[in-house]
Amino acid sequence: MTANGWEQIGFYLIVLALLVKPLGIYMARVYEGLPCGMDRVLVPVEGLLYRLCGIRREEEMSWQAYAGALLLFSLAGIVLLYLLQRLQGFLPLNPQGFPGVSPDSAFNTAVSFGSNTNWQGYGGETTMGYLTQMAGLAVQNFLSAATGMAVLVALIRGFKRRTTQTIGNFWVDLTRTTLYILLPLSFVLALLLVSQGVVQNLSPYQKVPLLQATYDAEGNAVVEQILPLGPAASQVAIKQLGTNGGGFFNTNSSHPFENPTPFSNFLEMLAILLIPAALCYTFGRMIGDVRQGLALLAVMTLVFLPLLFFCYLSESRGNPYLAQYGIEQTLGNLEGKEVRFGVANSALWAAATTAASNGSVNSMHDSFSPLGGMVPMWLIQLGEIVFGGVGSGLYGMLTFAIVAVFVAGLMVGRTPEYLGKKIEAFEMKMAALVILIPAALVLVGTAVAVTSQAGVAGVANPSPHGFSEILYAFSSAGNNNGSAFAGLSVNTPFYNTLLGLVMLFGRFGVMVPVLAIAGSLAAKKQVPEGAGTLPTHTPLFVLLLVGVIVLVGALTFLPALALGPIAEQMLALR
């Protein structure tokens, strides 16, 4: 570790903290229907969209209707993206003439982008035409992100409202999220990225001569290189802001055409956590108590910072396998990392992208040290709630807060309350589903893969590291992350199908219980605070919630981690 590395990390955290309040206030005003500074331009567009789609913005929905609209809309998007991939060989804006994607890969990718996971079993620049990238993948980047934010807003209304059967209108929440938040932010970020050299065009791939000839495996001279181009900057912007993470190119944000400079690297890292962090302030504003939102932001930060420190420390010490041979690693473990970013920015990106359900990478997690790679894996396994995805991270954190007040209520023998609402059996059952469904999908999926011939066939490292690659893949799919250890061959019918199912149920199997909690809370009356009410904005509750999160994460995944990265570290130190 170096002082310069910590200065860069510190500067990043300071800028992020400074942006939380203004963006949080802006988003709160958007969802409350208050003037937000862009009304003169966007209100007519919003009204036109409602008229074209036949949406009556004043009509609100029960949680069942809200969930039904969400599921039908997401299913339609997945089907359309599947067809777009299968038919891309016949469609325009495909200058490279890529054929249609295979059925299993198209299914996996459609579910992946429709669920905001953005897991990629394919190489973007060798598989997808420009129309598929723009009309398919980029569109789902916006809509799947907006869907998660809509669920969060519905849950916030559940806490805020009293004795009502409605939690808002899904179509209005989806439209306002996309139009007022995601599109303007993406437009600004895309322009900044273009200024740094991120490509944005519709040109065919270009052949350029090499300054010095190289030779392929057969000994033939290679004198030219093909440069992939395309509308990358527009997709990179929303992939980061929407915690999508799917790369335009195969190597994601380690590719110089996606992330060419230290400044573009800073902007893309900042975009990962910007909306999830600011939504904590939005939550506090919308419920009328900013302290509650800041308490949840403090919980996220208290979990994130130690794990970031541990990841940076592990990578700074170098690769333990290389150290066995006396190889000097004064700059740390640089295998799989871009030297223009270094160890500090690689560790920060790895922690940020897995703390959020982003999944983009600027280094290869497969090349991290055993314990350094365990950090991003465990951040995913915590449920993607330490900042988490846009919307999904905070509603996951609120679910853990419900569990925490329930545990506190058991300790003192009182009916648990959170934000003036009694937490009863129904809310606890739904909260249990939110926590258990992703964990079960990860562990069961990993077990199926390691005990089946088709699953083991994709492993190139028959060792604890190979187990880590499988465990990471299912952790990433089950918790809507999308990053990978990258040493596992997953573009096969077995993995495309199994991971696709895990992504599908990991996303929507959680959203429905969250909406059920929102509907149940909205129907309850407000309970006045009393002498026995547990304050949920204090340092005591912050520490209690941190303890619940870490305890649940440790009890659920420690045995699996012991078989993977921990065992690998022990072998390296023999």
pLDDT of residue 101: 95
Asked if residue 179 lies in contact with residue 42, where contact means CB atoms within 8 angstroms, the answer is yes
- Cβ neighbours of residue 391 under 8 Å, at least 6 residues apart? 145, 147, 148, 149, 150, 151, 152, 153, 279
- Cβ neighbours of residue 449 under 8 Å, at least 6 residues apart? 455, 456, 470, 473, 474, 495, 498
Determine if residue 391 is left, alpha or beta; phi over 0 gives left, psi from -120 to 50 gives alpha, anything else beta: left
Task: List the Cα angle 301/307/311 in 5-degree steps.
Answer: 140
pLDDT of residue 3: 86
Kindly state the DSSP code that residue 100 receives in the 8-state scheme: P
Which residues in the chain show pLDDT less than 70?
Answer: 573-574
Q: What is the rounded CA–CA span in Å between residue 107 and residue 501?
A: 10
pTM of the complete model: 0.93
Please classify residue 239 by burial: count the beta carbons closer than 10 Å to its beta carbon, then call 0-12 exposed, 13-18 middle and 19+ buried: buried
pLDDT of residue 413: 72
pLDDT of residue 327: 74
Secondary structure of residue 361 in the 3-state scheme: coil
Distance separating the N- and C-terminal Cα atoms of the chain: 24
pLDDT of residue 574: 67
Identify the H or E element spanning 1. Answer: none
* Maximum pairwise Cα distance, the chain: 82
Q: What is the rounded CA–CA span in Å between residue 377 and residue 479?
A: 11
pLDDT of residue 178: 96
Q: Provide the domain count of the chain.
A: 1
Q: What is the rounded CA–CA span in Å between residue 245 and residue 565?
A: 24
Q: Using only C-alpha atoms, what is the Rg of the chain? A: 23
pLDDT of residue 326: 72
**Domain span holding position 435:** 3-572
